[in-house]
């Protein structure tokens, strides 16, 4: 336990120090955000805010796990880190093209989708080879396992992983939102890993808890830096990797409730717009922009959404009580 706590503290310190080093570099490189043309007009003032701030908590997490290398016995934690880094790499490429070509879009949607599917497939294959019982799907609340054929499970898992990663990415649309919503999710996974006696696996979410808290000193409204797709796809990968490594992917419906609402609001808006030939269900999607249009300040949205995330994570803990006893 002490090692896990110290890792969390170290994650915070390292992330804060990396921020002091990284921010001037990003400014010097003019690695600024371009505001999406169809986004909220009041976000135009954020144009030029340094991008790729996610490197702060990514670097902190990597260093923390490398320091623990000599004491770790369950190397599954490095597989979780590896998946997160691969998703983060996809996001980095997206951010790089945004900065290089001074545009609001980087990789195409198809390019990102194919890369994410490839990363998901590789991770699931390695988990299977490591002996993780992928076909035994844990059902929360009823505390039982349902066995399904491997091919069906693989398709289901890839859909869940790609969907979750992109949902986390969509949530990163307001200063501090993605980081604060993800904080209780990482606390949940750290607690679940400890409760199931997978102490080495708990090191990764613990490091991210500290790292994200430090990152928020830079990203709280008004943000001095954005995590970019580099950070949001990394966090999405971390959420997915931990859920599957702990063999509880369905718990994403609870711990990822805010992410789910965000992406579903986007889908509803798109479908309603097409069906009604131009009418909108929400004032703007995803839903955090709807609340902005309703007059909510960014800080209020962050507090409310992160509070919902915390409550859903508590509910998730009750849902897996049979597994973590």
Assign 3-class secondary structure to 57-94.
HHHHHHHHHHHCCCCCCCCHHHHHHHHHHHHHHHHHHH
| pLDDT score recorded for residue 109 | 80
Between CA 103 and CA 97 the distance in angstroms is 8
pLDDT > 70? residue 197 = yes
Between CA 15 and CA 57 the distance in angstroms is 5
pLDDT digits 0-9 by tens, 58-75: 999 999 999 998 888 888
In the chain, the percentage of residues whose pLDDT exceeds 70 is 91
pLDDT digits 0-9 by tens, 86-139: 999 999 988 888 777 666 666 778 888 899 999 888 888 888 887 776 778 888
| pLDDT score recorded for residue 34 | 58
Average pLDDT over residues 282-301: 92
150 in Cβ contact with 135 (< 8 Å): yes
| pLDDT score recorded for residue 39 | 55
Between CA 183 and CA 214 the distance in angstroms is 11
Residue 282 tokens, joined? 């929400």
Hey, where are the domains in the chain?
A: 2-324
| pLDDT score recorded for residue 41 | 58
| pLDDT score recorded for residue 81 | 95
pLDDT digits 0-9 by tens, 243-268: 999 989 999 999 999 999 999 999 99
Residue 252 tokens, joined? 């994403």
| pLDDT score recorded for residue 29 | 77
Between CA 137 and CA 57 the distance in angstroms is 31
Closest CA to 222 of 42, 10, 25: 42
The whole model's pTM is what? Answer: 0.92
Residue 165 tokens, joined? 């990663």
**How far apart, in Å, are the Cα atoms of 23 and each of 47, 53, 210, 300?**
16, 8, 19, 26
pLDDT > 90? residue 38 = no
Q: Give residues with Cβ within 8 angstroms of 95, minimum separation 6.
A: 31, 51, 52, 106, 228, 229, 230
pLDDT > 70? residue 212 = yes
pLDDT digits 0-9 by tens, 148-183: 888 888 899 999 999 999 999 999 989 999 999 999
Closest CA to 185 of 65, 288, 306: 306
| pLDDT score recorded for residue 104 | 63
| Helix ranges (DSSP H) in 130-256 | 150-171, 177-195, 199-219, 228-245, 252-255
């Amino acid at each position: 336990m002490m090692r896990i706590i110290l890792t969390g503290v170290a994650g915070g310190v390292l992330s804060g120090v990396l921020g002091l080093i990284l921010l001037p570099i990003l400014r010097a490189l003019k690695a600024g955000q371009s505001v999406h043309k169809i986004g909220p007009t009041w976000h135009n003032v954020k144009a030029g805010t340094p991008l790729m701030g996610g490197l702060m908590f990514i670097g902190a997490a990597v260093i923390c796990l490398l320091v623990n290398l000599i004491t770790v016995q369950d190397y599954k934690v490095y597989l979780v880190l590896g998946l997160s880094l691969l998703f983060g790499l996809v996001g980095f490429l997206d951010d790089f093209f945004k900065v290089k070509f001074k545009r609001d879009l980087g990789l195409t949607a198809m390019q990102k989708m194919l890369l994410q599917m490839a990363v998901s497939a590789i991770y699931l294959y390695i988990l299977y080879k490591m002996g993780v019982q992928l076909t035994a799907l844990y059902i929360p609340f009823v505390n039982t396992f349902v066995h399904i054929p491997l091919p069906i499970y693989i398709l289901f898992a890839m859909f869940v992983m790609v969907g979750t990663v992109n949902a986390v990415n969509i949530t990163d649309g307001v200063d501090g939102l993605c980081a604060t919503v993800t904080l209780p999710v990482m606390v949940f996974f750290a607690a679940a890993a400890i409760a199931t006696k997978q102490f080495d696996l708990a090191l990764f979410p613990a490091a991210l808890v500290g790292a994200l808290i430090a990152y928020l000193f830079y990203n709280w409204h008004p943000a001095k830096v954005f995590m970019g797709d580099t950070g949001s796809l990394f966090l999405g990968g971390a959420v997915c990797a931990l859920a599957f490594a702990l063999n509880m992917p369905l718990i994403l419906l609870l711990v990822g409730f805010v992410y789910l609402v965000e992406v579903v609001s986007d889908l509803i808006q798109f479908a309603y717009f097409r069906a009604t030939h131009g009418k909108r269900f929400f004032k703007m999607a995803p839903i955090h922009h709807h609340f902005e249009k309703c007059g909510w300040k960014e800080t209020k949205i962050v507090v409310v959404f992160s509070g919902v995330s915390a409550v859903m994570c508590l509910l998730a803990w009750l849902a897996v009580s049979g597994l973590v006893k």
